[in-house]
Amino acid sequence: MTFNHPIFLTRVFIMLWCVFVSAAALADIPTQVIQGSSVKLEQFQMGYFVDKTEEMPFSEVQNQAFQLSANGVSLGTTSKVTWAKIEIENTNTTPTKVYLHHPYAYHNHKVELYEVVNGALTRERVLDMDRKETQQWMYRGSAVFDISLEPNQHKTLFVKSQSFSHQWFTLNLYSEDQSKRALLGLYTDIALMVGMLLALIIYNFLLFFSSRLREHFFYACYLVAGGFWVALSYGLLADLFDVYGSITLKWHLSLVAMPIFLLLFMINIFETKKKYPIEHWALLSILTLLIVDFVYGLFDMITALNYSSSLAAIMMIVSVSVTISMVIRKHPIAPFFLLGHGLFAIFSTMAVLFYKGKAEFTYINSHGVGIGIMLEALVLSLIIAYRIRSLETMKAAQDELKLLASTDSLTQLFNRRHFNAEAEYLLHQAKQRQQPAAIAMFDIDHFKKINDTNGHSFGDKVIVQVANTLKAQCREQDLLARYGGEEFIIFMPNTQVNDAFILIERMREILEKKAIEMSSEKTVHITISAGIAATDIDKPNLKNSLNQADKALYRAKENGRNQSQVYKI
């Protein structure tokens, strides 16, 4: 018989290594020594055993081989009933009481504690989250069990953790004073996180109500779902309202709702339906799967939660891929979104691996979704700011174009087109309020002669001078416009025709006294003629009022110019 030495030795080495690893994993569980009056054991080794039958009695569990592990474990969805085994020994010469904390008990179905001394069961406690009478060991969402130890006594603690879907927990041991301190600062970080999200929620809803842009609504809803799930999953709701157990099970649908609103936000912010059909199809596909999972969760929440982490992983792959595509296409918002969503994807991936039992129990892994939401929300606030700035720039440009379209370029007064539209509105208001109104039309006397004699540039100077004088004398409520070449018009709301005549006459007299310099040696005096008409409030008609003012203006010219005339029937 011949041996292939390298292959044979490799196989032997692998077998020995497997035996060594198995022996190490199933090694005796170290005893945690209780010494002194202050105890704070937050990192130690214990053992765990997964009851695949989910019905094994405690008498049989005692005889099972326990896997050596840290005092915090995450075992995924296939370990709904898991037992932990902790060895403790009181080396004090006096009786000692310690407190076993299960900080994440609020998301479990049941937590049971069995105390064993010398192989005999001395005390057992069953905490059922759905039974009020068993909840005396719950405090601010944590299960807290007191354990009495006689001098030099050794005890074995068996903790049964029965979850609804994902199995993860940590166990800590404290003395009384350290127990109180641990409970006091238990959810400070989560409260801060939820508070920041709440501020962003209010901000985005206010933006939606003021702008009516759907992306603000979808993003606010995303933050609502995310903030609610953070408060629920990380114990803040249990702490504040003492709610846990089956009653909160369907509330975890917020975890499914969260990516639904984020995808809707992406579809709107990137306008994929109009501009990017392939990316739109990809987002729509995963959105459909999430909606199906959400609806399914209304009837079978456990199964929906089992699929949710896998769907979350697919969603992150698709959403990040679409964002990278947007960056390649040079979408202005895409780099910001990639940064924020990339951080969310990284931390959420760590959380997904943790919930599936593929990553160790650490603060970042167990709180990955909350951390990811916070970082993404802070970065995506830059997108909101960018969008607001873009909309303000666009609005300013539109206002400028609107102003240019409604303004006479020479005098900077409103033009004829704007006057007609605004005067119609003012007439309608006058009728509603039953207030009088008047219209006056002006014409520069002998303007053609001024133009022909002194040139068009001087003629423009005359028009600007008249415009500035009229504007200076107009009241705040009056609507002044350049109506034609040398014609001007004023609509005077809430003004009797006699008061209008006094106002127009004052303007005419001021212009009559003005001298416009043509050169250092020559000045030109100008005059204007004006026609004034009262509007019919009962049957307002802008065209009729303009015709009447024009007829009054014609009469002023016929009578020798440089005067104001009121239209009379």
Residues 353, 365: Cα–Cα separation, whole Å: 8
Q: How confident is the model at residue 126 (pLDDT cuts 50, 70, 90)?
A: very high
Among this protein's residues, is 486 annotated catalytic?
Answer: yes
pLDDT in tens, 38-49: 999 999 999 999
Q: Whose CA is closest to 110, among 99, 119, 102, 118? A: 102
> What does the block give as tokens for 538?
């009962």
Q: Is residue 23 scored above 50 in pLDDT?
A: no
| DSSP 8-state class, residue 357 | T
Q: How confident is the model at residue 394 (pLDDT cuts 50, 70, 90)?
A: low
Residues 201, 219: Cα–Cα separation, whole Å: 8
Can you give the pLDDT at residue 453?
Answer: 84
Query: To the nearest 10°, the Cα dihedral for 14, 17, 18, 22?
Result: 180
Q: Is residue 524 scored above 90 in pLDDT?
A: no
Mean pLDDT throughout 156-163? 96
First vs last Cα of the chain: how many Å apart?
A: 134
Can you give the pLDDT at residue 22?
Answer: 41
For residue 419, count CB atoms less than 10 angstroms from its CB and return exposed for 0-12, middle for 13-18, buried for 19 or more: buried
Output the CATH code of domain 27-184. 2.60.40.2380
Of 93-97, 208-212, 361-365, the poorest mean pLDDT is in 208-212
pLDDT in tens, 295-310: 988 888 878 877 777 8
Full-model pTM: 0.65
Proportion of the chain above pLDDT 70, given as a percent: 92
Cα angle: 478, vertex 451, 556; to 5 degrees: 50
Top-level CATH class of 188-398?
A: mainly alpha
pLDDT in tens, 196-254: 999 989 988 988 888 788 888 998 999 999 999 999 989 899 888 888 888 888 888 88
Domain boundaries, the chain: 27-184, 188-398, 416-566
Mean pLDDT throughout 513-527? 79
| DSSP 8-state class, residue 563 | S
Q: Say whether 421 sits in a helix, a strand or coil.
A: helix
> What does the block give as tokens for 334?
């895409």
Q: Is residue 19 scored above 60 in pLDDT?
A: no
Write down the catalytic residue from 42, 424, 486, 487.
Answer: 486
Mean pLDDT throughout 350-378? 87
Can you give the pLDDT at residue 71?
Answer: 94
Mean pLDDT throughout 169-193? 91
Bridge-based pairing of strands 31-34 and 81-90 is parallel
Q: Is residue 21 scored above 50 in pLDDT?
A: no
pLDDT in tens, 114-124: 999 999 999 99
Q: Go through the chain and tell me how many residues it has.
A: 569
Q: How confident is the model at residue 403 (pLDDT cuts 50, 70, 90)?
A: low
CATH homologous superfamily of domain 416-566? Reverse transcriptase/Diguanylate cyclase domain (3.30.70.270)
- Between 257 and 18, the higher pLDDT residue: 257
Q: In Å, how far are 219, 287, 509 from 259, measured between CA atoms?
A: 10, 8, 73
Q: Chain-wide mean pLDDT for the chain?
A: 87
Q: Is residue 147 scored above 50 in pLDDT?
A: yes
Q: Is residue 25 scored above 70 in pLDDT?
A: no
Mean pLDDT throughout 411-425? 89
Can you give the pLDDT at residue 313?
Answer: 80
Q: How confident is the model at residue 2 (pLDDT cuts 50, 70, 90)?
A: very low
Can you give the pLDDT at residue 3?
Answer: 43
